[in-house]
Amino acid sequence: MSTSLHIAALVIAILSIPSIAGLTAWGLAGGDGEPHNAVLGILGALVGFGSLYTAVTCWTAFWGLSDWRWWLMFVPTVAGLIALLMAVGESEENSVGDWLVGLSMQLGLAVPALLLWAAGVASP
């Protein structure tokens, strides 16, 4: 069971790079333009590069994983949630449904870390 959870964490981490992390980083970077401010640009980079780190960590976790490396897997989720909270009330175009989609996408970035924990690879 733990090996299947570990493999699921790796697959989800790899699939989330172009989908969740890519779209989030692209959106925070301003889409087709420049970021609205430097903080959003930095948060976008944390989401993008943090998701790459998560995928690499899921792969290397087959040979063991230290606690501090597991905790760093939550950086993309935290950065995305901070950016999402910064955007609340910024635009009248975004509905509650849009905000919930953004929230679920950012929480989805934490799934690989939680699966590694459930597999017994990480022990916080």
> Can you tell me which residue has the tokens 């989800």?
12
Mean pLDDT, the chain, integer? 86
Tokens of 9: 């964490």
Contact 70, 113 (CB under 8 A): yes
Q: What percent of the chain has pLDDT over 70?
A: 89
- 37-55 per-position pLDDT tens digit: 888 888 888 998 999 999 9
10-14, 95-99, 103-107 — which is least confidently predicted?
95-99
Domain ranges, ordered by start, for the chain: 2-118
| Measured distance CA(115)–CA(48) in Å, rounded | 20
Contact 121, 3 (CB under 8 A): no
Banded pLDDT at 32 (limits 50, 70, 90): low
Contact 28, 40 (CB under 8 A): yes
Q: Is the dihedral of CA 4, 7, 11, 16 positive or negative?
A: positive
Q: Given a cut of 70, is residue 98 above it in pLDDT?
A: yes
